[in-house]
Amino acid sequence: MTDAAHHIDLAVIPGDGIGPEVTAEAVKVLLAAVGNAVDVALTEYELGAEHWLATGETLPDATLERLRSHDAILFGAVGAAPGDTRIPSGLIEREFLLKLRFSLDHFVNLRPSRLYPGVPSPLAAPGTIDFVVVREGTEGPYTGNGGTLRGGTPHEVATEVSLNTAHGVERVVRDAFVRASGRRKKLTLVHKHNVLVYAGHLWKRTVEAVAADFPDVSHDYLHVDAAMIFLVTDPSRFDVIVTDNLFGDIVTDLAAAVSGGIGLAASANLNMDRTAPSMFEPVHGSAPDIAGRQVADPTAAILSAALLLRHLGHDAPAERIEQAVEQDIAARSGARSTSAVGDAIAAAVS
Ligand SMILES: NC(=O)C1=CN([C@@H]2O[C@H](COP(=O)(O)OP(=O)(O)OC[C@H]3O[C@@H](n4cnc5c(N)ncnc54)[C@H](O)[C@@H]3O)[C@@H](O)[C@H]2O)C=CC1
Ligand SMILES: CC(C)CC(=O)C(=O)O
Ligand SMILES: [Mg+2]
């Protein structure tokens, strides 16, 4: 057996707000699930809005290089409260989080949605939601191409350019087809090519071209606005959704809401070429409105740890976590603290 079968060199970035609270539970459960079978070396990094306030650092290049040396990164969330005027809006999101995702080439942002048995959904019936969103993670409108001309004047012009490359679109579309092939064999491209014609047509042409290599997978297309109707009225029609960085961000918060809440939604930022560590984090943000009160649901972070273990080839402990989460969710009755949820799931996987 290789050393990778027994050892994980894990970077942990708890971040801001509820990030440290939910990440502590994810680490607790991960360690309990692997037990003595895998030696996990943890290195914690203080990064995020609070760190910037204390030091003026977002993501120094030296820190990025240290992060690059780990097997994987477990991340909580970063960001200040929307009204916090001490921190320029977008600074931490762009100069820490997006810099990290782009630098480590996390081109597949995988966000599974499943309505677990026992979870009350505002809209969907049990068993009707089981799809994954494959969100492009390194391009789109999040690349920071843009600017302001004549800022603050009545003639101000603000741009935010969406970058879509043939290479970037092809690799994520191909990944989505591979995933669809291993699932219910249905891929839906979500975009807005009736208005965003240049990017939209590149995505559509790419899906048509890659589809030829996957004759077992059927594919269709929905404009993003109509897709949101079906996500609410008929989520069972989706198996694999592939979409760009911005649409994927929005689609997956709605997907989380209809499948039991943002506290259950896990994600993986994957470098599928394995040229750098992948990063695992809940879909949600730092939730400043509930931070520090031990009321956040750590399930999304815990399920993200399971995705991490799977990515590194530790399928058995990942499976234990997923089953324990499913049982924990099914048995929920009253309110529990963040750490009580983590304790219960950790006990179940030990
Ligand atoms: N990956 C990341 O680090 C992300 C960071 N952010 C940042 O987080 C900050 C807050 O952003 P918001 O727009 O408020 O989004 P958010 O996802 O942090 O919170 C939205 C709502 O969901 C609730 N919520 C989130 N996670 C929860 C959990 N685990 N359990 C129970 N309730 C939960 C919050 O209390 C809030 O009411 C901002 O600075 C934003 O930029 C937002 C999204 C992702
Ligand atoms: C804060 C953003 C950079 C990202 C985001 O909202 C997300 O990835 O879900
Ligand atoms: Mg988001």
DSSP character at residue 186: E
Secondary structure (DSSP) of 188-230: EEEE-TTTSHHHHHHHHHHHHHHHTT-TT-EEEEEEHHHHHHH
Question: Strands 72-77 and 218-223, how do they pair?
Answer: unpaired
- Secondary structure of 53-93 as H, E, C letters: HHHCCCCCHHHHHHHHCCCEEEEEECCCCCCCCCCCCCHHH
pLDDT given at position 8: 98
> What number is the average pLDDT over the span 59-80?
98
Q: Which of 286, 299, 303 has the most ligand 1 atoms within 8 A of CB, as the residue to mutate?
A: 286
Of 45, 116, 142, 175, the active-site residue reads 142
CATH 3.40.718.10 residue spans of the chain: 1-104+276-350, 108-261
- Is the model's pLDDT at 2 over the cut of 70? no
> In percent, how much of the chain has pLDDT > 90?
94
- The minimum-distance atom of ligand 2 relative to the CA of 78 is 1
CA of 140 from ligand 1 middle (Å) equals 22
pLDDT digits (tens, 9 = 90+) for 201-225: 999 999 999 999 999 999 999 999 9
Q: Is the CB of 341 under 6 A from ligand 2?
A: no
CA of 103 from ligand 1 middle (Å) equals 23
Q: Is the CB of 253 under 6 A from ligand 2?
A: no
Q: Is the CB of 249 under 6 A from ligand 2?
A: yes
ipTM summary value: 0.99
pLDDT digits (tens, 9 = 90+) for 137-183: 999 999 999 999 999 999 999 999 999 999 999 999 999 999 999 99
pLDDT given at position 1: 41
> What number is the average pLDDT over the span 49-63?
98
pLDDT digits (tens, 9 = 90+) for 293-341: 999 999 999 999 999 999 999 999 999 999 999 999 999 989 999 999 9
Q: Is 99 a catalytic residue?
A: no
CB-based contact 254:122 (threshold 8 Å): no
Of 16, 105, 239, 249, the active-site residue reads 249
Tell me the pTM.
0.98
Tokens of 105: 């080439």
Q: Is 234 a catalytic residue?
A: no
CATH of domain 1-104+276-350: 3.40.718.10
Average pLDDT, the chain: 97
- The minimum-distance atom of ligand 1 relative to the CA of 76 is 3
- Is the model's pLDDT at 109 over the cut of 80? yes
Q: Is the CB of 345 under 6 A from ligand 2?
A: no
Give the residues surrounding ligand 1 with Cβ less than 6 Å away: 18, 22, 77-80, 93, 97, 262-263, 281, 284-290, 296-297, 300
Inter-CA distances, 209 with 87, 170, 194, 258, Å = 44, 9, 20, 32
Q: Is 28 a catalytic residue?
A: no
Secondary structure (DSSP) of 122-185: SSPPTT--EEEEEEE-S-EEEEEEEEEESTTSTT-EEEEEEE--HHHHHHHHHHHHHHHHTTTS
Q: Which of 16, 89, 93, 244 has the most ligand 2 atoms within 8 A of CB, as the residue to mutate?
A: 93
pLDDT digits (tens, 9 = 90+) for 220-256: 999 999 999 999 999 999 999 999 999 999 999 999 9
pLDDT digits (tens, 9 = 90+) for 267-292: 999 999 999 999 999 999 999 999 99
Q: Tell the residue nearest (CA) to atom 11 of ligand 1.
A: 285
- Known binding-site residues equal 101, 111, 135, 225, 249, 253, 285-297
pLDDT given at position 122: 80
Pick the CATH number of 108-261 from 1.10.1040.50, 3.40.718.10, 3.40.50.720, 3.40.920.10: 3.40.718.10
Q: Tell the residue nearest (CA) to atom 43 of ligand 1.
A: 285
> What number is the average pLDDT over the span 98-105?
98
Question: How far apart (Å, rounded) are the C-alpha atoms in residues 245 and 258?
Answer: 20
